[in-house]
Chains A and B, each alone.
Chain A
Amino acid sequence: MRKPRRAAVACAPLLAVVWPAAAEAHPMAGVGDFYAGMLHPLTTVEHVLPLAALGLLAGQQPRGTTLRVIPAVPVALIAGAALALALPAPPDLQAITVGSMVALGALVALAASLPPVVAVAAAALPAAAIGWANAAELGGQVAAARFVPGVALAGLLVVIYGAGCVRGLRAPWMRMAFRVLGSWIAALGVMTLGLQ
């Protein structure tokens, strides 16, 4: 019984990061570029919730798939950021990030088991959009070489926490609680889409 309890404690940072952050937008004056990069996706609701859903979804997959999805996330975040630095912003990134909140949340709610390729694609597309959106907001004085790795690390940590929580807490009602969490994320996505 020790292991699930430890996993429960491990979940705390994830939630602690997610919720207060959602309330206070962009508190990043006075921190270095790397930490600004870490904070930026964590303090944006439509970035942190898809990443959290991604982590839960990764944890619901068989071990091999989980281990493929997790590294795909920072890679896609960096790739998206690189695209943003090279190209002008596409018309509507928010449609992708908020849409992925709905889609990923719904997949978590369904506890859908995905083929590895599909799971990696489902992780890479929203992660690339999130990386792109973060880098697109880079101000003049912030060094991309420090900001973007911060974004990637934050994304990686959120996904690892999410997947770790799901894989660690295997009681049937806990598995259900994670699915309900997915449903809440999707519901928030629906409201974000509808209210903007």
Chain B
Amino acid sequence: MTQATDRPTGGLTAAPLAALLVLLLSSPVLAHTGQGVASGLLSGFLHPLTGIDHLLAMVAVGIWGTQLGRPAIWLLPLTFPLVMSIGGVLGVRGAPLPAVEFAIAGSAAALGLMIVLAARPPIAVAAVLVGGFAIFHGHAHGTELPGAADPLAYGAGFVLVTGLLHAAGIAIGLVDRWPAGALALRGAGAVIGAVGVYLLVNLAGA
């Protein structure tokens, strides 16, 4: 009951911040002063959104976080950007990492499976699994840095949007508190896992 009364006020506080965020994120793009910075931020922002494998895996991370509950749900958005930035640096620098595309499609499949099973491994196991994927996702974003773009702005873009995708997953995962919602989440996990497997099969065929 206390949670129910807390919720609306949280939303009130969030509303101005959310509006602000939208405003802020649009302004660097509109400002045509620093072409490399603006295009870097924009393409960094779009990159995780335009790849279905990235998008599903990151939302899945958020959903699984809510299933795992308290420590994990917060540990995740705190550590993921840091690990991912290391992967991003490796990618921009061109450090070789084996089978990146497989790892990313595999991450969607594996995370989907975790959600279907509502698996609750020890926190360290979950952290290593997700952290490993973070390196590969960061590397893939870094590798595809557009030539004209400012690397740091691009990096900022994909780190921020990845955080927002996690937040989206966590928001979706809030339905976990109701039995029907929990079931729906596991169904969503099945869809994510299936897409991941489909992408894996495609990669293997190509």
Chain A positions near chain B (C-beta within 8 angstroms): 1, 4-5, 8-9, 11-12, 15-16, 19-20, 22-25, 27, 45, 106, 109, 169, 171, 173-174, 176, 179-180, 183-184, 186-188, 190-195
Contacts and interface: CB of A to CB of B under 8 A. Distances in A.
Interface string B83-95: 0111011001100
B169 interface: no
A190 B17 contact: no
B203 interface: no
B135 to A, nearest CB: 12
B20 A15 contact: yes
Interface residues of B, number: 41
Between B12, B13, B23, B27, the greatest number of chain A beta carbons within 10 A of the residue's beta carbon is seen for B13
Nearest to A190: B85
A23 B153 contact: yes
B52 interface: no
B31 interface: yes
B16 A12 contact: yes
B117 interface: no
Given A20-B24, A183-B81, A195 B151 contact: yes
Interface of B: 6, 9-10, 12-13, 16-17, 20-21, 23-25, 27-28, 31, 33-34, 37-38, 41, 74, 77-79, 81-82, 84-86, 88-89, 92-93, 151-153, 155-156, 159-160, 163
Contact of B12 (A1, A22, A24, A176): A1
Contacts, number: 116
Q: Which 9 pairs, one residue from A and one from B, show the smallest C-beta to C-beta distance? A: A194-B89, A23-B28, A187-B85, A187-B81, A191-B155, A190-B85, A19-B24, A20-B27, A24-B33
A184 B10 contact: no
Between A11, A179, A180, A191, the greatest number of chain B beta carbons within 10 A of the residue's beta carbon is seen for A191
Given A180-B77, A187-B82, 15 more contacts: A1-B9, A8-B16, A9-B16, A12-B20, A19-B28, A20-B24, A20-B28, A24-B28, A171-B6, A179-B78, A188-B152, A190-B85, A190-B86, A193-B89, A194-B85
B163 to A, nearest CB: 7
Q: Is the interface of A mostly helix, strand, loop or mixed?
A: helix
A113 to B, nearest CB: 16
Contacts of B77: 176, 180, 183
B16 A183 contact: no
A184 B81 contact: yes
Contacts of A195: 89, 92-93, 151-152, 155
Contacts of A9: 16
A103 B163 CA distance: 20
A12 B85 CA distance: 26
A173 B9 CA distance: 12
